[in-house]
Structure formats: C-alpha cells, structure tokens
Amino acid sequence: MNAFEQLAQDIKTKNSVVCVGLDPMQATTADEIVSFNKHIIDATHDLVVAFKPQMAFYERFGATGWDAFKQTIDYIHSKGVLAIDDSKRGDIGSTSQAYAKAHFEELGADFITVNPYLGSDGVAPFLTYKDKGVFVLCRTSNPSAKELQDDIYMKVAQLINQWGSGAVVGATYPEEAKALRAAMPNSMWLVPGYGAQGGTAESVRPCFTAGGSGAIISSSRGIIYDKDPRAAAMKMRDELNAVRSHV
C-alpha cells in the first residue's frame, strides 16, 4: 500500500480528515521542539490522519534542527501516523533528485510538498518514489498568492492531473477550489490555512470529493498553541465531519 492509499484508508478508519501542522514557532531550541511535538502528537494522534512539520521552523536551529525534524518524523511513525514533510522543495531535475533522496530516504517522510515553478522535470524525481506521495503547490493560502498564481493555477492543476500527484489548495479560496476540483477530480488535496489563516469548514467544502474524502485539512497554530490541543483537534475533526458528510 503506498502513502496515498494508506492515507485514504486512515481517513475511513479514523473518520477524520484532520492534519496537524507542527510549526513550533515559539520554540527556542531544537530540544524544545522535540519535547513540544511529542506532547502534541501524544495528545492528538488518534484524532488525525497526518502530522505536517514545517521545515523552516526546524532549519532555524541548523543541524540540530534537522535532527529534531527527523526525530519528529520517527515519533509520528511510532504512533502509526503518516508524516508530511512541508518543505516546498523544487529545483532542476538533478537537484530535485537529491532533494527527493534527502527527504524521502534520509528523513523518511511519507509525503513532501513541492513547488512547481520549474515545471515537470523539477517535479519528476519526487514522483519516481512510488511508495511515497507528493503534494504540489497549486493555490496557496497566503494573501499574495494571487499575484502570480492567478495566471497559472489552472495550468498547474492540469499538470498535477497528468502527474497523478496530490495538490496543495488553500482553505481560503472556496470559488477557486470548485474550479480546481473539476480540473483535478481524483487528486488528494492537502488544504492548509484552516483556523488562524481564516479557513473554515464551510470554506473547504468544495475541496472534498463525493463521499467527503479526497482532501485533508491542516491547521497549525489553531491546534498546537491552543490551551487544549486535543479538544481543539476534536472540535476541528467534528466540524469538518459535519460538512463532509453532506458532500
């Protein structure tokens, strides 16, 4: 079973589409990152289908941060949960090949996020790992996303459909999500921007496929810096389940 098949199965088994973003913004050391993440993973692992550590917050601490990232992935796996390496890599072919080796083999991630700006030959090396999964940035959740993406996100969607990869579609653009779902009817989506960035259960409704699957929704700050991360994750799970049961 490859990573996408495992994810689809976990969505059914756990009755959840929640992904928790491990963005330890407030940590001041790499050790602190690891203990903080373990606390969050312990509190929420049965409620979620994936954890998504954001590489930038680990790289701040250099080599020790890289170790903390790897320890985080190992700990996620020890709880039987899938790990999405949110590092948005992407370069010319020979370089992307080295990134794929780094993130899939050295770090052992199940999924990686990839930037499509360099086109097919920059994405292809990641796709050769058939047991792993790739989420290609299509429409991001940030305010400036429209500056360049408005001109090309439908073309990116067509490429993603050809590549058979997953897609990143922000939770903050319900209208675009409808058109994108039509262009990528079968792709698994990673939907960031829920909670702190403004996405709601209603705004992500168009992201789901029939039966309420086909997308996982990610929240970071809204869960990990809540005073009760477990309660926050449970609330998010239930709000999303209420919406997707009618898709």
User: Could you list the active site residues?
Assistant: 88
DSSP secondary structure code for residue 90 in this structure: -
**CB nearer to a copy of itself: pick between 10 and 85:** 85
Minimum separation from the CB atom of position 72 to a copy of itself (A): 13
| Crossing angle of helices 120-127 and 146-163, rounded to 10° | 50
**CB nearer to a copy of itself: pick between 147 and 175:** 147
What are the residues binding a copy of itself (CB under 8 A)? 23, 25, 54, 56-57, 59-67, 70, 88-96, 98-99, 101-103, 106-107, 115-122, 137, 140-149, 151-152, 155-156, 159, 197
Alpha-carbon gap, residue 184 to 164, rounded angstroms: 9
Minimum separation from the CB atom of position 165 to a copy of itself (A): 14
How many Å is the Cα radius of gyration of the chain? 17
- Residue type at position 171: A
Minimum separation from the CB atom of position 247 to a copy of itself (A): 27
Tokens 């459909």 identify what position? Answer: 161
**CB nearer to a copy of itself: pick between 14 and 146:** 146
Alpha-carbon gap, residue 203 to 183, rounded angstroms: 18
Minimum separation from the CB atom of position 64 to a copy of itself (A): 7
**CB nearer to a copy of itself: pick between 99 and 208:** 99
CB atoms within 10 A of CB 67: 16
**Tokens found for residue 71:** 């320890």
